[in-house]
Amino acid sequence: MREYGLFIDGQEVPASHSMKSLNPYNGQPWAIVPDGTEEEVDHAVAAARRAFDTGPWGRMTAQQRGALMRSLADIIKRDAEELARIESTDNGKLYREMLGQWQYLPEYYYYYAGMADKLQGDTVPSDRPNFFIYTRREALGVVGAITPWNSPMLLLTFKLAPGLAAGCTFVVKPSEHTSVSTLEFAKRMTEAGFPDGVFNVVTGMGHVGAALVKHPGVDKIAFTGATETGKVIAAGAARNLTRVSLELGGKSPNIVFEDADLDVAANGVIAGIFGATGQTCMAGSRLLVQESVHDELLERIVGRTREIRLGDPMAAETEMGPVANQPQLDKVQEYLEVALKDGAKVACGGKLDPMLGGLFVQPTVLIDVTNDMRIAREEVFGPILSVIRFKDEADAVRIANDTRFGLAAAVWTQNVHRAHRVAHQLRAGTVWINAYRVVSYATPFGGYKESGIGRENGMDAIREYTETKSVYVELTGQPRDPFTLG
């Protein structure tokens, strides 16, 4: 049994309250983590504030920050296997997927380390001959990062890497279900040489996140999670006019046209919904398929879905692990019941796995779904694929955009004109063509509509962690009429 304290001001701090973290594969507690208090949030924010305002971090050059980030990337690369095992144990996702994430994470820190010393302002042509005007991009300040349980460190890195490059400090509240990898990561931050207070972790239940959101010492909240929670966070942050970036839910359409390579498309559909047990914000949970190839594609998908191997996330042969926690399993079961009442039919799956039990649910394909059903309109965050027919291109675009979400979408076609034409019409932050579930540190990621505010990754992300300051320099040094502007 591993036991952890909070991480505040560069050191592990004993917790006043604690809770158990459960392994979703076997249901057994495997770690004890803190359940933080409002006072402990205060201490963490104060440490981050000191580090930003008066500590050595605030005096570092951009080049020095970049060097620390490269050191951190090297440490992540060294410890990727251990950290992947920890994360897989905590959230039940496949070890090989977690290992792939951890092996890729250093690239984020290398990328933003290189960007740290390229944050520059502009000289502005002045409309007054006696003024020289320029702008500066300055770090926003203290960031409160609230992360989910499905990919804790990948989704924290989306925030942390650009934020560190900009010069911000952090207080992180990970999900109460998956706190261990973030606490382990904090030790690596110290090893890499980051000054005390730059990175702080306060774990716990929802009251910890609420305390962070309302804290007047926090300059920005960066959140990934459910849309309804994001709305609550945005409202709470508004009381102090705290800036927010929100990466929220999705009900993403995976659109297959009749001219698509159906074997390739079937693999993409499977990856888009059953990868990570469907527990990803970008899950392709709505399959829109043209009527003329509906039956043929469905046969391929159902056949492959029935072969998906459920089991121990650590085993190399496992293709899908358990749902991450009991509340999420209950939610998945509830949506299945609602879908059947609304008229959907089960083509395969649809039950808890009778062999494995526990938190395992069979990968499920639902047919005869219409876009007005709840199963097609609300985010399930589980391994349920809703299959919806469409007639033609205009019908596909209409159905795809008929949602309050707009995080991602995919288009499967061999017609290059159609591919781009449809991609341009889809109201989604990311559109894949003949692919699904691909992200990059260099490419902006975020949503339209109720899928969020702001962008993560790429050059867009670092702007989310900076302020623009305009500086006017009077050139003549001569006294001017105090009652005349300029």
444 exposure class (CB count in 10 Å sphere: 0-12, 13-18, 19+):
middle
464 is catalytic: no
Torsion of CA 458, 460, 462, 465, to 10 degrees: -150
Q: Determine which one of 168, 176, 184, 281 is catalytic.
A: 281
For residue 292, give the 3-state DSSP assignment.
helix
Q: How many residues are listed for the chain in this entry?
A: 486
Scan for tokens 């008929």, then name that residue.
Answer: 402
Query: What strands lie across the sheet with 408-412, from one edge to the other?
Result: 345-348, 364-367, 384-390, 286-290, 253-256, 408-412, 430-433
Query: CB count, 10 Å around CB of 131?
Result: 14
Q: Fill in the DSSP letter of residue 195.
A: P
Residue 17 main-chain phi, psi, to 5 deg: -140, 155
Distance from chain centroid for Cα 270 = 21
Q: What share of the chain is helix, strand, coil (3-state, %, to 5)?
A: 40, 20, 35
Which pair of tokens denotes residue 248? 């929220």
**Active-site annotation holds for 176:** no
Task: Indicate which residue of 40, 87, 176, 247 is catalytic.
Answer: 247
The rounded distance, in Å, linking the Cα atoms of 271 and 290 is 20
Phi, psi (deg, nearest 5) at residue 106: -55, -30
Catalytic residue numbers? 247, 281
